[in-house]
A = this chain, B = another copy of it.
């Protein structure tokens, strides 16, 4: 079975046999695919094109949207669908945090991603232009500028995530780096594809 997560710049595929791979949106021609492809998309232009191809199956309409809020990203929803009890932290250009407890979605929040936050501090003052210290001692308040911004970003985020007392699942491009903030967290880069598989099994009964 071929799954695809379509973004604005790249397509992220998952194949039972070949595993994961990415393709650029620029070079992509959907008509070259003859097999069925189950997809989710945040790319409006490509979505329109795919509607005319019978073997490209959009999974978004299979979701019970009333469990989520209207403007919630479809990628975030599928990562949540994969989880019955835990906090899903997707660390990319933004850090999205979503809480599922005993099968019920409780809500979430959004922090800026690592790169956006670093730019934010350095735009305020060149004196705050440091890389974040992911090995920060979270027990002590900061006594130097690098730790002061690292604490302001990472420690506050980690405290909030730990406060739910739930298993922590990290996904997204910066998952490994953020995993250093937690005593016990699982990195799972395929959580979104697991959500897609679950919906395909439950709703399409495949």
Interface residues of A (CB under 8 A from B): 69-72, 93-95, 97, 99, 106-113, 116-117, 119-121, 123-125, 127-128, 140-145, 147-149, 151-153, 155-157, 159-160, 163
Contact = CB atoms under 8 A, between A and B. Distances in A.
B140 A128 contact: no
A156 B157 CA distance: 7
Given A97-B152, A99-B141, A112-B120, 19 more contacts: A69-B143, A69-B145, A72-B145, A93-B124, A94-B121, A94-B124, A95-B152, A107-B140, A108-B148, A109-B149, A109-B155, A110-B142, A110-B152, A111-B153, A112-B117, A112-B152, A155-B160, A159-B159, A159-B163
A116 B106 contact: no
Given A124-B93, A157-B156, A110 B70 contact: no
Given A156-B157, A159-B159, A112 B141 contact: no
A93 B151 CA distance: 18
A107 B141 contact: yes
Contact of A148 (B110, B120, B128, B156): B110
A140 to B, nearest CB: 6
B141 A109 contact: yes
B71 A127 contact: yes
24 contacts: A69-B145, A71-B145, A93-B125, A94-B128, A97-B152, A99-B141, A106-B141, A107-B141, A109-B142, A109-B148, A109-B151, A109-B152, A109-B155, A110-B145, A110-B152, A111-B156, A112-B117, A112-B121, A113-B124, A116-B123, A119-B123, A155-B160, A156-B160, A159-B159
A94 B157 contact: no
B141 A111 contact: no
Contacts of A108: 141-142, 148
Contacts of A117: 112, 120
